[in-house]
Amino acid sequence: MRIFLLVICILFITNGVAQNSIKPSELKEDFEYLIGELKSQHQGLYQYLSENQTNRKIDSIQSTLETRQTKVEFYEKLRYLIGLTNEGHTAIELPKWTMIKLGLSKSFLPLSVKFCDENLIIAQNYGKDFEELKRGAKIIAINNKKVDEVLQSLFPLIPTDGFNTTSKKEWIGGLNFSLLYRLVCGKEKNFELQIQNFGNEKVQTIDIPAVRFTKFKTKNAKLPARGFDFNSFTFEQINDSIAYVSIPSFGKDNLDYEKFYQENFKKIDSLNIKHLIIDVQANGGGTEGNENLLFSYLSNKVVKKYKQVTMCPKSYQNNKTKQGYINDQWTLQNNIAKRGEFTLYSDYYSDLGYKNPQNNLIYHGKLYVLISGKTFSGGAEFASLIKMSDRGIFIGEETGVLMREMLVDTRNILHYQIQKLR
């Protein structure tokens, strides 16, 4: 199954004054605890920068903990720390009750956005309706700060694989921009926007009131919405020789992937399709094995997908007795745990019980694969299989995963208690 490191941050505050802020000594204690856990359970901390370079960055973040800070302010510093892992599966979250309280405050920019051609584009407005605020408008500045300056303060909070930039530019979009802006720039009642509508050189200034995060709902949308095929599981015959298949996820729990592939490749075979477009530009991954099965419908080759799959010793000790790890033949070798050799190939279907497709359903025609920065994890692994086998032509941009050195770590949920009950 897909394996990754997820850090969940749970805050417990025990005295009256600490409900508003946390003492520097306690901030540092919790910060050092998280660093220790990352060093012992995450392989990415020193993967892309030297230990000295990374430690200097850690010291720089820690130096900001000399004064009392709220939970949200401390969370911002921890996100900078998580960003140093250079591993896009790693995340840290505020506790639910803190997130609810934050979301109920009228302090959010009421826009969803899209990063496109180095520009920040308005996709939707969930706040006050302005005639001059149109879908597709470019944001020039927010509260007298140029967008480039704003983005440079937000990007470090988004962990991505290695030095990949395409996923970061995708993940800054949607509602994330408003949330990250609130986190870094603080509470605002109004936002002065400088915008430029599409096809118009004139820069307009709009003063737009803040909203609660709970306002980000379809019923509150003010601009016309557009749907795209790549966000749903779709098969479409375009003409006599061309077909399109969209697979936006390898982790939809209620979808029988084996049945879905079999039914659609039967159609492809019966329609005598010569050119097949597979769209994984929105595919952020899912359960390991689903991407391998799709590849098996496109090639007779068995490809070695990984050189090795490893995890740190502490993570191995925490998981070694679980049945899935036993089945995958994890062993500890020279102070590093490794997954069984048979799991490194494209015909490994995890514990899903899949069978190889019938030979007559394996597609041998021309193949075109649509990818983007959102193509991540298992989606990017599927793309890597296509690339390694030279099976098709890619259309789009670099995927969000650095496949050459992708960190595949154990799924390990660390319930990290900040301000532990004393």
Contact 34, 417 (CB under 8 A): no
- Which alpha helices (H) appear in 222-376, and where do they start and end? 257-270, 290-296, 313-319, 323-327
> Which pLDDT value is given to residue 403?
55
> Which pLDDT value is given to residue 86?
85
What are the 10-residue block averages of pLDDT along the chain, 422 residues in total?
A: 40 40 92 91 86 95 94 92 88 83 92 93 94 93 96 91 88 93 93 93 94 94 81 93 96 92 97 97 94 97 92 91 94 93 95 94 97 94 95 94 51 41 28
In terms of C-beta distances under 8 Å and separation of at least 24 residues, what long-range contacts does 226-234 make, across chains too?
A: 229/279, 230/279, 230/281, 230/282, 230/370, 231/282, 233/260, 234/279
DSSP letters, 51-62, are HHHHHHHHHHHH
Contact 135, 224 (CB under 8 A): yes
pTM for the whole structure? 0.87
CA distances to 144, 232, 274 from 277, in Å: 44, 15, 10
> Which pLDDT value is given to residue 200?
87
Task: Give the count of beta carbons closer than 10 Å to the beta carbon of residue 17.
Answer: 10
Task: Give the count of beta carbons closer than 10 Å to the beta carbon of residue 75.
Answer: 22
User: Can you tell me the distance from the alpha carbon of 212 to that of 198, in angstroms, rounded to the nearest whole number?
Assistant: 28
Contact 327, 351 (CB under 8 A): yes
Helical (H) or strand (E) element with 383:
helix 378-388
